[in-house]
Amino acid sequence: MLDITHVRSVLSDVYDLAPSATLANEMQDIYARMDRVISPPDWAIYAPYVRAINALKKERNAVILGHNYMTPEIFHGVSDFGGDSLQLAMKASDVKEDVIVQAGVHFMAETSKILSPQKTVLMPDMDAGCSLAESITAEGVEEMRAKYPGAPVVSYVNTTAEVKAASDICCTSSNAVQIVNAMDSDTVIMTPDQYLAQNVANESHKNVVYWPGSCIVHEQYTAKDLRDFREWNPGTQLIAHPECTPDVVAEADFSGSTSGIIKYVHDKKPERAMLITECSMASNIADELPEVEFVGPCNMCPYMKKITLEKILYVLHTMEGQVEVDEDVAAKARKSVQAMIDLSRKLGL
């Protein structure tokens, strides 16, 4: 586990990280991307970190890939590229820089390393896991193959490199239906998210069988929550991630991946919207959509929230937190991830 006292002592020897209203004022252009959701005193705290990280990125020839669930000061302050799992994986396969800092969870950093083995991939906190990735091992995939002989295995990118290596192809929430439909078999095995699999089954013509994993953030929402919310706040558009249960998805006005949700809100511009997903999603798009009021409860992903500006600065400074994947495992996993990327490009996704 990262020793935060050590992190602070290393950083304070080198950088001036004291809150600064003057610096915050000088960095108004960056602040403008998040000033509806970050208060000026908080920006004065973040600004010295943002300045130090952005300068160090140039020195190290590094790029920061930020998932849509990062907090706004990371997503808008230091990320060079933001997006959903599929967009980040595609970006990781063609970045020019020598170093990739993954502002996201561990399976995303592994995916970047699998696709760019010659690059240094840094993970700001190795403990930023994922309940889905932790729910299955390569043995679990073999168990499913034994139960459904001949059926192809489509594994969500929210899996370890070993599980990807044991699968035939990967998918993300933005291409899962199309990938499953493209399989040359009536029965398709999906791992590890039971709810994504059930939601895909509802939209596909395949017999989808699945592993019983789940996301601890999305499984908390119930259809009753959504009905109660509608009653309390009529007219609000309810927009759910497909890691939610099928009941929740059925109750929602739209369901899509994190980038699908962003696109939907941009296109529809509802007066009020509730995003049935991780908290930071709404914060990250609030400034670009001032006409939309984001309302209602949201759940935080404790893994995503392990990533902070302080830890990003620390790994860029020390070059600690390098992600390694065994070469044989990486070669097999690359086939599954690349098959997904190639098929997604072919399908124009």
Q: How far is the CB of 160 from ligand SF4 (least distance, A)?
A: 12
326/322 Cα distance (integer angstroms):
13
DSSP assignment of 113-125: HHH-TTSEEE-S-
Is residue 85 a contact partner of residue 172, using CB atoms and an 8 Å limit?
A: yes
68 binding partner (options ligand SF4, ligand 13P, none; Cβ < 5 to 8 Å by kind): ligand 13P
Min dist CB 74 to ligand SF4, Å, is 15
Looking at residues 57 to 116 of the shown chain, list those that interact with ligand SF4 (rule: CB under 6 A).
Answer: 105
- In the complex, minimum distance from the CB of residue 129 to ligand SF4, in angstroms, rounded to a whole number: 8
The one-letter code for the residue type at 37 is: V
Residue 63 near residue 93, CB atoms below 8 Å: no
For residue 158, state whether it binds ligand 13P (rule: CB under 6 A): yes
Distance, CA of 187 to chain centre: 28
Residue in the structure block whose two tokens are 């759910």 = 240
Distance from CA of residue 214 to its chain's centroid? 15
Q: Extract the tokens encoding 65.
A: 């890939």
Considering only 89-97, 144-152, 177-185, 299-307, which stretch makes contact with ligand SF4 by CB under 6 A?
A: 299-307
Are the beta carbons of 197 and 183 closer than 8 angstroms?
no
Return the range that interacts with ligand SF4 (CB under 6 A); candidates 28-36, 50-58, 124-132, 144-152.
Answer: 124-132
Residue 7 CB, nearest distance to ligand SF4 (Å)? 22
Residues in region 161-220 near ligand 13P by CB under 6 A: 172-173, 215
Size of residue set near ligand 13P by CB under 6 A: 10
112 near ligand 13P, rule: CB under 6 A: no
Q: Residues 79 to 108: which contact ligand 13P by CB under 6 A?
A: 84-85
Cβ count within 10 A of residue 298? 18
Tokens (6 digits) for 294: 């984001």
Rounded to a whole number of angstroms, the minimum distance from the CB of residue 256 to ligand 13P is 8
Which of 134, 35, 71, 14 minimizes the C-alpha distance to 308? Answer: 71
Binding site for ligand SF4 (CB under 6 A): 105, 130-132, 158, 215-217, 243, 278, 301, 303-304
Residues that bind ligand 13P (CB under 6 A): 68, 84-85, 158, 172-173, 215, 243, 257-258
